[in-house]
Structure 1
Amino acid sequence: MDIFAFPPLTLLLDGAYNALLSLSHLVEPLAGGNAAALAVVLVTVLVRTLLIPVGVSQAKAEQMRARIAPKLRELQKRHGKNAERLQRETLALYKAENASPLAGCLPLIVQGAVVGILYTLFLRPEIAGHANELLTHDLFGAPLGTSLLHAISGRLDAATALVWAVVLVLILIVAEITRRLFRPQVPAEGPLASPGMLGMLNALHYLTAVFAVFVPLAAALYLVVTVSWTLVQRALLRRRYPLPIS
């Protein structure tokens, strides 16, 4: 079943297509054959700029979660064997702290939607019944509509391999810096403190690089810009909203 055959989603996809294509035509005198790639970068910057207020809320939510973490652990010790009581007491704690367990989730939802739209725009040969012109664009010779996995399964030329290598290396560098600067806040004792669990939490930073292999290059460009933006923004907001020292 094609969900984009549903008229509202068809209009949404066609609107996104026309907007991105118009932006690529606008920057073409500056970027030449890489205009569509630059358009994707500019769209990413626009989305992240609009999400700055939400990013501030996310930093506040992270600070709040770190502040009430000891109280949550105490509730788990007291009511760990009574799931219903634990849930009730946890919700009461969030209410008393004027907080929400879902605080800070909006950026993930919005960015997931944007990646999904970019993935679709650079995957479908037709958009709303007309040929998809975006699939004719590339970045320094690497097709924007081709994933690394698809390129490897076909014939991987030098230009495509080089572009993808740069993209993945950038994502991995940002992931490593993020891992070092923002180590997971876990209790000194308990299952989360085990070496295996800590290793798994650290490995989560590199999931973006794994995900990038399976999406078109255009969506991977979005990921490069957004993880870099997230790192810088999070570092700045951490100074403004530091976590309590345990």
Structure 2
Amino acid sequence: MSVFTLLDPVVGLAHDAVAALAAHLPTALAIVLFTVAVRLLLHPLARSAARGERVRVRLAPQLAELGRRHEGRPERLREATAELYRREGGSPFAGCLPMLAQLPFFTVMYRLFTTPNDLLGATLFGVPLGLHPGSAHSGPELALFAAVFAALTALGWLGFRRARRTVAAQPGPAAPGAGIAPYLSYGTALFAVVLPLAGALYLLTTTAWTLAERAWLQRGTDPTAGAGATPTTAGLTTTGSTTTGATTAGARKARPRRTESTKSRSLTARKASTARGTRKARRTRKAKA
């Protein structure tokens, strides 16, 4: 018995849900709506991941400082990193939650679209949902698959751009494999090649949702915000126009210099005034004499 067969009861429930929608709507639209409904259920995890990502970006300068401080001592670095995340209420694994939560759903949908069933007999613009790209021969079939793959590639490009900016913004040396990570955004388009049209439609829907959801959750924030941050001994940073401990400390050091300069000018002015008064008094005494 394969691992996939263990999911058959859940696959049956997914089939019934899509079939219920397909009784009133086109099957392709039913697949889209079912995918959106599941992603809505997973949205709280995405929000938690977005909060964790903001914490990670905010802590990036301090993490870089810990890396330099504990270089060559991986055990001590892990302890210090864990303590920093615990103190700030974050987790280095927060961003993995939505992906891990989607794996069972993705597996169920893969099983649903690769096992012969009545849903795959429906059509989209005259093309069967169970048709694989390699079996497409007519003009409408090729055109539809070309449109789907073009959309998936465009979404992959958007994800690639965002991932590359995020990797470039990381302080310190890049992690192993960081240069390859942005290119994984194109993996969805490549995987769609082995799926029927229904599976590609699911991938298109869930990928578009992921990009839109991420953009909405991270609105008003800059993924490169941590790039120009400067760590200080107190763990405070100065980023862009946001001034924190480093600038405050510099201001405290600058104030005494400005005060000494002011005192010097005042003393010089008093001496000059005294000298003028002395000369005037001498001229007055001479005039009386």
What is the TM-score normalised by the length of structure 1?
A: 0.79
The range that moved more, 211-220 or 59-68, is 211-220
Question: How many residues end up aligned between the 2 structures?
Answer: 224
Alignment of 1:169-184 (within 5 A): 169-181=150-162, 183-184=165-166
Structure 1 runs not aligned, ≥5 long: 28-34, 126-131
Which residue of the other structure, out of 174, 185, 193, is the alignment partner of 1:205? 185
Percent identical: 38
Alignment of 1:227-246 (within 5 A): 227-243=207-223, 244-245=225-226, 246=228
Alignment of 1:1-246 (within 5 A): 1-6=1-6, 9-27=7-25, 35-125=26-116, 132-148=117-133, 152=134, 154=135, 156-181=137-162, 183-186=165-168, 187=170, 190-191=173-174, 198=179, 200-243=180-223, 244-245=225-226, 246=228
- Specify the code of the residue in structure 1 equivalent to 2:130: G
1:123 CA drift (Å): 1.4
The CA distance in 1 between the partners of 2:102 and 2:130, in whole Å, is: 19
Conserved 8 A contact 2:52-2:95? yes
1:40 CA drift (Å): 0.7
- Specify the code of the residue in structure 1 equivalent to 2:42: L
- Specify the code of the residue in structure 2 equivalent to 1:36: T
1:215 CA drift (Å): 2.2
SS in 2 for 1:70: helix
CA RMSD of aligned residues (A): 2.5
In structure 2, relative to structure 1, the CA distance for the partners of 1:231 and 1:134 (3 Å cut) is: same
The CA distance in 1 between the partners of 2:111 and 2:136, in whole Å, is: 23
Structure 2 runs not aligned, ≥5 long: 229-289
Conserved 8 A contact 2:120-2:198? no
1:41 CA drift (Å): 0.5
Higher relative contact order (CA 8 A, sep 6+): 1
